[in-house]
Amino acid sequence: MRSTELFKEAMELFPMGVNSPVRYYSPEPVMFQQMYGSKAIDVNGREYIDYSMGFGPMILGHANKLVSNYVKSQLDKGILFGSISENEIKLGKTIKDAVKSIEKLRFTNSGTEATMHAIRLARGFTGKKYIVKMEGGYHGAHDYALIKSGSGTMTFGVPSSAGVPDEVSKTVLIGQYNNMESIEKLFKEFGNNIAGIITEPVLGNIGVVNPEENFLKGLREITEKYSSLLIFDEVITGFRFGFKGYQNIIGIKPDITTMGKIIGGGAPVGMFGGRSDIMDHISPAGNVYEAGTFSGNPLTMSAGIATLEQLKGMDYSKIDNYAATLEKELGAIISEYNIDATINRCHSMFQIFFNKNKVIDYSTAIASDAKKFTKMFHMLLDKGIFFPPSQFETEFVSFAHSKEDLENTVNAFSSVLKCL
């Protein structure tokens, strides 16, 4: 088969044939040739309903017409200017207007860069050393964040990466998500030297885990008490649940916010922003260094502008309702076949955990039967449904998913869960 031939070539080139670890699964990952709307087509010509949506960014669906047109027209004007351009201002303004805690911002090329710079900024601004992150929270693949991380690190069982110097790991303190006591304990011991807390407001890299009442408020209060900064990593949640951040839904104002994914409309992007007095510490005005050859490039910005322009007028309840119906239907199938599984959903993102208990944090997520998930993933693939290939990722619904997709997904699930 063409996919097998191509994957052999990929294996010669890239470690395990891929350029990002979660894309690998045995015996070989699906090799796609094209995507449109809610659909993905592999090199053998098979079509799938996609629930990975590029791991989140493609909220409008693949190959969205306006996004393509904006990018095409930018192509003829130049891809990289190496100077400030109007597109950056346009996208920056749109984000600032939508997310009130962001007074100033910088674009980067990935969520990884955004959180790395946000953490450095928090340290530079406060003059303090420690950063608190949540067990199972994922903030990208840099040394400050690859400690007790989620996503691929959990899938492959290496929650803390080799190669991160001990000296760096020791500056990162691990708290338990949804457990304010664990955070208070850290502040009691290290409080005067904690630069900030970084957390995804809704965990999306150990599957989906919602915040329990008052947890995020507790983080806001304790950071204020100790003059530390609160960083919300909204790389997944930014513009996912409405034309705003998750912070606007819950009414909590972080000091720094990071975003990525959706704001680039599928092009490589990241952003960190927040209070002006903090952001002014960034070079060249300030002494916290941050830079990027491709940051804010006009091509990425045009994809982001076209995406946010459309999202502004969208009724997000459409994708929320799709996910809610799927949750209800799948829940009924799970009950009918008496399967030990539970579904977590936040608006248009969801995950099925093969776990008879509720999943509320890292330790309850890791107790899930990841092997069973992998089995389900492959069976769904056979039926033309493409999920992200790990128990510890998240399914995303887009505006391109249709009623027919929903029916086909439920039917596929019904026969897969029956066999499981």
Ligand X SMILES: Cc1ncc(COP(=O)(O)O)c(C=O)c1O
Catalytic (active-site) positions: 138, 233, 261
Q: In angstroms, what CA-CA distances link 8 with 23, 30, 40, 383?
A: 15, 13, 21, 25
Minimum CB–partner distance for residue 203 and ligand X (Å): 8
Q: Which two tokens stand for residue 8?
A: 């052999």
Looking at the chain, the number of H-run helices and the number of E-run strands are 15, 14
Q: Residue 417 contacts by C-beta under 8 Å, 6 or more apart in sequence?
A: 330, 333, 334, 337, 339, 376
- CB-wise, 272 or 373, nearer to ligand X? 272
Residue with tokens 């100033």: 104
For the bound state, the minimum distance from the C-beta of residue 408 to ligand X, rounded and expressed in Å, comes to 27
Rounded Cα–Cα distance for residues 62 and 405 (Å): 15
CB distance 412 to 384 below 8 Å:
yes
Cis bond before residue 284 (omega within 30° of 0): yes
Task: Check: CB of residue 235 under 8 Å from CB of residue 114.
Answer: yes
Three-class secondary structure of residue 205 per DSSP: coil
Output the CA angle 157-160-162, nearest 5 degrees.
100
Name the site residues for ligand X (rule: CB under 6 A).
55, 110-112, 115, 138-140, 200, 204-205, 233, 235-236, 260, 270
In this chain, which residue has its C-beta nearest to ligand X?
Answer: 111
Distance CA 310, CA 244 (A): 13
Q: Give one DSSP letter per residue of 241-271, joined into a string.
A: SSSS-HHHHHT---SEEEEEGGGGTTSS-EE
